[in-house]
A and B are shown apart, each in its own frame.
Chain A
Amino acid sequence: MNLFRITKGTSAIAEERLKLILVQDRSLLPPAKFEQMKEDIVDIMSNYFDFNTADIVINIQRESKKTLLEAIIPVLSVKRKTR
């Protein structure tokens, strides 16, 4: 037995797991649809801007009466030739 072993309480694990689970539960789209939508947004935006796909953050949140879709796309440059 190691008297000096520092253990993280299981309650903290429960809390972390719950937060992750609930973020998923609360998002309006199932994960597969969400990924599809993200790809679609990337496709359209890439016609106009250069950006790193990895930097894109997309959140869907429900506030009491309305649903908010937030997309954060750090733009590197504007494309010269837009279609």
Chain B
Amino acid sequence: MGRTIVVTAGKGGVGKTTVTANLGALLTKLGNKVVVVDMDIGLRNLDVVMGLENRVVYNIMDVSDGKCKINQALVRDKTLPGLFLLPASQIHTKKDINIDKIVEIISIIENSFDYILLDSPAGIEKGFESASAPAKEALIVVTPDVSSVRDADRVIGILENRGILAISLIVNRYDINLVNRKKMLNADSVVDILGLDLIGMIPEDKSVIESTNKGELLVNYANGSPANKAFENISRRIEGEDVPFLNFNSQRRGIFSLFRRR
């Protein structure tokens, strides 16, 4: 029985899709069978980030509409056997989504994969709802800025109300130099404010942009890059390994988490 994890944020542009693609890749590298699902119906991008856009034939809406079987819609990754993409439709809108059907499709996929990563669209409307409905766990991606953290707080509240309590935090685009000069929110502060467990920080790293430019996974494009190292650590922690945090800082809940969000 696979683990279904939604990757979400509230705010757009914080790196949900990049995180989904690269975590999917590294979980595959650790020996898992993984499917990454693009839940951004109408604005699909996971295929492009992974460089699989030319291989897309069917998509999750076709499966939902009964136009094809799940296996026909799954796109095999170019380089990593064991990694699959279930693309979003580009011609539908979020209104066309049948959430019950999506939940059913994912529960079938759970039988033959170890991990199902759901790439959520931005926002808290139907797109987000359908991405989180099948999930039992969530990864919240934040960048260290006020708008991202505020939006994340809202999303965490909604997830908790829906009974998703296994929520971990990824701080993306972390610039340790700015943090040391007190010009960027510290990861500890973000953890304290949001009251979640930190599962990893991904440093600001130009190799991330370069790899997406080329439509390559970071593990293939820049295996030794700091960001890839961070993704590797996060996937090991998802697997339950106790990986020490890199030279950044500790993860702990602080006093502010006493004020619970709604």
Q: Once bound together, how far apart are the Cα atoms of A62 and B161, in whole Å? A: 10
Interface presence of B51 (CB below 8 A): no
Contact A14 to B256, CB < 8 A, known contacts A22-B193, A26-B157: no
Choice from B165, B181, B261 contacting A9 with Cβ under 8 Å: B181
Q: Contact between B259 and A18 (Cβ–Cβ < 8 Å)?
A: no
13 contacts between A and B (CB under 8 A): A9-B183, A11-B182, A15-B185, A15-B186, A15-B193, A18-B149, A18-B150, A18-B193, A22-B153, A22-B261, A25-B150, A26-B259, A62-B157
| Contact pick for B150, options A15, A22, A28, CB 8 Å | A22
- Is B68 at the interface (CB under 8 A from chain A)? no
Whether the pair A62, B179 counts as a contact (CB closer than 8 A) is no
Chain B: CB-nearest residue to A28: B262
In the assembled complex, A77 has its CB within 8 A of some CB on chain B? no
Q: B259 to A61, Cβ gap below 8 A? A: yes
* Residues on B with beta carbons closer than 8 Å to the beta carbon of A28: 262
Across the interface, name the chain A residue whose C-beta is closest to B189. A15
**Cβ-defined contact, A64 with B165, below 8 A:** yes
Number of chain A residues whose Cβ lies closer than 8 Å to a Cβ of chain B: 21
Task: Determine if A23 is an interface residue (Cβ-Cβ < 8 Å).
Answer: yes
Which of B182, B260, B262 meets A10, CB within 8 Å? Answer: B182
With an 8 Å Cβ cutoff, the count of chain B residues facing the other chain is 23
Among residues of B, the one whose C-beta sits closest to the C-beta of A68 is B260
Instruction: Please encode chain B, from 12 to 25, with 1 for each CB lying within 8 Å of some chain A CB and 0 for all others.
Output: 00000000000000
- Which B residues form the contact surface with A (CB < 8 A)? 145-146, 149-150, 153-154, 157, 160, 165, 179, 181-186, 189, 193, 256, 259-262
Among A8, A11, A21, the most chain B Cβ lie within 10 Å of the Cβ of: A11
In the docked arrangement, what's the CA distance between A62 and B193, Å?
A: 15
**Within 8 Å of chain B (Cβ to Cβ): is A33?**
no
- Given that A9-B181, A18-B150, A19-B256 are contacting pairs, would A26 and B193 also be in contact in the complex, using a CB cutoff of 8 Å? no
Does A63 belong to the interface (CB within 8 Å)? Answer: yes
CB neighbors of B among A11-54 (8 A):
11-12, 14-15, 17-19, 21-23, 25-28
Nearest CB in chain B: distance from A27 CB, A: 7
Q: Are A21 and B150 in contact (CB under 8 A)?
A: yes
A-B pairs with the 5 shortest C-beta distances? A9-B182, A26-B261, A62-B262, A11-B182, A15-B189
Contact check, B189 vs A11: say whether CB atoms are below 8 A apart.
Answer: yes
A61 (CB) vs chain B CBs: closest residue: B260
In the assembled complex, how far is the CB of residue B188 from the closest CB belonging to chain A, in whole angstroms?
10
